[in-house]
Structure 1
Amino acid sequence: MRYERWAHKVARSSSGFVAGLTTAAIVAVGFLAYRASANVPEDLGKPQPTKSPTTNASKAPGAEDLAALPARSGTGDRVVYSLDDDRVWLVGANDRVRRTFEVTPGTVDPAPTSYKVTSRSGAVTGSDGVAIEHVVRFATVDGVAIGFSAAVDGSTAAPDASQKLGGIRQSREDGAAMWKFATVGTKVVVVE
């Protein structure tokens, strides 16, 4: 009989102890939830504009989005080059822009139309005497080869205006992306 009374007392005190722990845990979780809700940003859960990691464009408030693919720039996999914007877009399936970046044009421009990549060179010396890499050629104008390239030293300075140069310079990083994307036969669309 003594054992039964002792077991009953222990059971009552244990259940009281467990109930106390449960209550304390609930109070602690409630307090932490309250503290967390006080520090939630107002825009949490609202759709945020996404920025492509491959876009090197900056956008000032109210300014036109320079990274937007130009209208009437063709369809399918292609390179789009804007003469007016000095910008290139690498466009994949479903007109998805994979990368866009600024370039420094040569002194001779190709006519706005559609071309195909005709040849490539891994590393050569440009017409201006600069060591270049990832050369992707797509046109010839009055005997001047037109193509994209990157200076090995990373420079993208404006060319000597007294020379006829068709190299469209890009950064080394952008040049590597162009090299990977624009194989022989890839469409190149030149727009104004």
Structure 2
Amino acid sequence: MAGLTVAAVAAVGFLAYQASASVPDTLGRPQADASPKSATSKAPRDKKNPAALPAQSGRGERVVYSTDDDRVWLVGADNKVRRTFKVTPGTLDPAAGTYAVTSRARAVSGSDGAQIEHVVRFHLVDGIAIGFSAAVNGSTEAPDPTKKLGGIRETRADGDAMWSFATIGVKVVVIR
């Protein structure tokens, strides 16, 4: 009987390992994807056209977010930029990598207490949700640096565009 118990426990452990190893690592965690490259400079990548989509920011439909440039590009499946805009980052930056939109909310209270809309979340840092949103009052002020905040603020018009574009599962590429 003890031999059967040991064999059963070993089989269950092996099957659990196989199941966990086959789960795709796409929901809100960075991928081991070498396509996004990071830069070390806070200066715009292209001084003649600072809004130009950075090279090596991936392929296909995606949201590209540069933490150094504080800019977002909404890129269609044909790799053409649909819209680009400046954002005001929170106090927590996600690591460079490839993520996916994991949740959305039409209207909520932000972690800073502001009423926000069109929330598009894609990651957690230290248990804090990281995502794009627009303040209902239109504010894009810098956040309180003494608080851990993951909201990346957009104007209301940019928030509308993000909301329409970034549905659940859409790729979010974070670059430096």
| Distance in 1 between residues matched to 2:139 and 2:65, nearest whole Å | 20
| Distance in 1 between residues matched to 2:48 and 2:70, nearest whole Å | 15
* Structure 1 segments unaligned to the other structure (5+ residues): 1-61
Aligned match of 2:161: 177
Aligned-partner SS, 2:167 = coil
Is 1:155 matched up with 2:139? Answer: yes
| Distance in 2 between residues matched to 1:132 and 1:166, nearest whole Å | 13
Q: Deviation at 1:72?
A: 1.1
Is 1:64 matched up with 2:48? Answer: yes
Runs of 4+ in 1 over 2 A off after TM superposition: none
* Structure 2 segments unaligned to the other structure (5+ residues): 1-45
The answer to which structure, 1 or 2, has the higher relative contact order (CA under 8 A, 6+ apart) is 2
1:114 maps to which of 98, 113, 136: 98
Deviations 1:136-167 (A, max 9, x none): 00000110100000000000000000000000
Aligned match of 2:108: 124
Q: Deviation at 1:71?
A: 1.4
Aligned match of 2:58: 74
RMSD: 1.0
Is 1:168 matched up with 2:158? Answer: no
Q: How does 1:9-158 map to 2 (within 5 A)?
A: 63-158=47-142
Q: Deviation at 1:64?
A: 2.9
Aligned-partner SS, 2:124 = strand
| Distance in 2 between residues matched to 1:72 and 1:80, nearest whole Å | 11
Taking structure 1 as the reference length, the TM-score comes to: 0.67
Q: Deviation at 1:110?
A: 0.2
| Distance in 1 between residues matched to 2:73 and 2:47, nearest whole Å | 19
Q: Deviation at 1:66?
A: 1.2
| Distance in 1 between residues matched to 2:124 and 2:93, nearest whole Å | 10
Asked which structure has the greater CA Rg, the reply is 1
Greater Cα shift, 65-74 or 174-183: 65-74
The aligned length equals: 131
Letter in 2 for 1:140: L
| Overall identity of the aligned pairs, in % | 69
Letter in 2 for 1:113: G
- Quickly say closer, same or farther: Cα 1:63–1:73, change in 2 above 3 A: closer
Letter in 2 for 1:174: D
Q: Report which of the two has the higher share of helix.
A: 1
